[in-house]
Structure 1
C-alpha cells in the first residue's frame, strides 16, 4: 500500500473565514489520523485570500497534541521569511515535545500573494537569492554540520541542543530543486501542479541518482504531491474541484477572492482573461474522480515516479465535503473501504 499524506493550505471562503478555517484544519487532521494517513503538513501563506494558514509552526504543535500517531509538519516553512537559527529552535522544540512525529519541510518562496506582503516578510532583501546559504545555516545550527568556520552561524547551537532536528524535506517543483535536495541528503517533496505529468518522474529520478548521504542514517525519501479530489462519482469530483480552480483563475487575473460554493463556481461565467488563463494551464497532473478512478491514477503515478509517498492537496469549499473526500481518498489506497459520513 502506498503511503498517503496530506498538505493543508487552510481553504478560506466567505462562509468559513480564516479563524474558523483553523478549527476545521484541526478536525481534518484528527480525521487523517483516524483513517491512517502518514503525514499531515501545514503550508505557509500570507496575504492570500483563499488560504488561511500563516503560522504553521504554531498549528503543528497544536495538532500533534490532538492526534496520536500522525506525523505533523510544515509543508513548508518559507525560509526567506525566517532566521535559520529560529527555525531550528522552533522545530527542535516541537521534536522534544512530540518525539518522532515532526517533519520540517522547507520552501524557497515567501508564500505571498502580493509584492507589499512579500517585501514586508523578506528577512533580508536578498533572502530569495541566498536560500541555499540559509538552508546550510539551518542544517548546520541544527546539528548536521557543513558550516564554514567563517560563517556567522559557526559555533552557534539551536536549543534544545540535546534533541535532533526532525526529518527535513526540501519542497520544490523542478529538477533543480530535486538536485539540491539530493546533494544535501534531504527528503524531497515534488509539487506536481500545472506541469506535464512526466516532469515529476524526471525530477524524482534525478533526485535518486544524485542522492548523497551526509550521515549514516540519511536515506532518499521522495514524495509526490498533487491536487486530488475524490467524489461520489466523476461529476461530483469535478464539482468539488471547481471552487479551487475558479479561485486560481481569480488570483491569476488580478481579482483574488475566497473560495466560492461549488454550485456558484460551476455557474459563474468566466471572463475572457480567465478563459485565456484556463486554456494555458496544464491540469493533467490533477487527480479527479471517484474512488476507483483515483486509485488507478495514484497507482500509475507511483509506478511512473517511484515515489515513496503520495501527498494530496485538496482545497474544497465545504468542510464536510472536504472530510468526505479525504475518507474516499483513504479508501482509494486502503484495501478495506473507509466509510464516508
Structure 2
C-alpha cells in the first residue's frame, strides 16, 4: 500500500510567542507503522494534536486521504477516521466499559439508546482484543492496564483509518503488550496507518516500519527502521553521540533510613519487608497484579494495613493516613497521577501547597 493517507507539510505552531513546531513535515502510508520519536518537549504531542483537531496550525498544509483539509475540530477528525489513544487516559470512570466505548457516538432508534446492540458490539471488540472484561463493568473498578485496553477498544469501535498511539504500553504487562502488538499487526494488514509514539525503543523492532525523529520542535530525520541503528536513533534524538547508554554511577550507601517489617494489607500484600539506605534506590518489581502499587499505598496510608511495622531513621512511626506519612517525611508519586496525585483543574501553586496547608494556614 503506497498511497499516503496523511500528509502534513511545513507545519509550524507557536504558543505565546514560543515556537514549539518549526517547519515540521510528516507523511504516513496506509498499512504502515510510523514510530514518531523524540525527547520530551520535542513537539511530538503538539504535532499529533494538530492532526487530531485539538490545536490549529499557524502555518503549513494538511492532506488526508489525498484531499486538502482546513483546521479540523476533534469531532471532524474522528469522523474522517482519525483516532487517538493518549498517554493520559480519557475515560469516564463512573460509566461502564460499553458506555465509554460508545461515548459521543451512541447508537439510537427513534431517540432510544440501543444499549443491547452497543453491549454486543463492545463484547465483540473486547473478544477481538482477547480481553476478559465485562462490557457492563464500571471503568473505575478496572486496573490501569485494563483501562488502557478500553481506550484501544474505543478507538477500534470508531473504525479508525489512522490510529495515533501515544505511549500505549506504559501501563501494560508483557503479555498485554504482546496482545497489543498482535492487534497492531492485524490493523496494519487491514490498511490502517499507525503513528506510534514511545520512549521504549526496544519495542520498535517488533512493529515499526519507519522512524521519524524530532528534536526541539524540528524535523530531524525519517528513515526505514531496517536502515537505521539504535545508536543512530538515540544520537539523533538527543543531538549528540551517546557512548554509554547506562553509565554506572557509584554512590556510597549510607545508614539505614527506612524499614518495613511484615506488612499485610488486603489480598495482595502479605508479609512484605524491605530496607532502604541513604543514597540508595530500591526497585520494587513484579507483574501487573503482583501487589506493587498496593504495597506502596499501604505504606503511605492511602489504604488500610492489617499488620506490620514501619521505621524512619530507626524510630517506629504510626501511619494511618497519608498525612501521617507526609509528616514522617514519606512521599508517594501514585500510579494514576491524574486521579490520585493532582487537582488538574487547579494551578501549580495550589497543587504544590496541598501537602503543606497546615504550615501555610498558620
| TM-score of Structure 1 vs Structure 2, range by shorter chain | 0.3 to 0.5
Structure showing greater relative contact order (alpha-carbon pairs closer than 8 Å, 6 or more residues apart): 1
- When the two structures are superposed, what TM-score results if normalisation uses the length of structure 2? 0.31
* Structure number with higher helix proportion: 1
Higher strand share: 2
Higher alpha-carbon Rg: 2
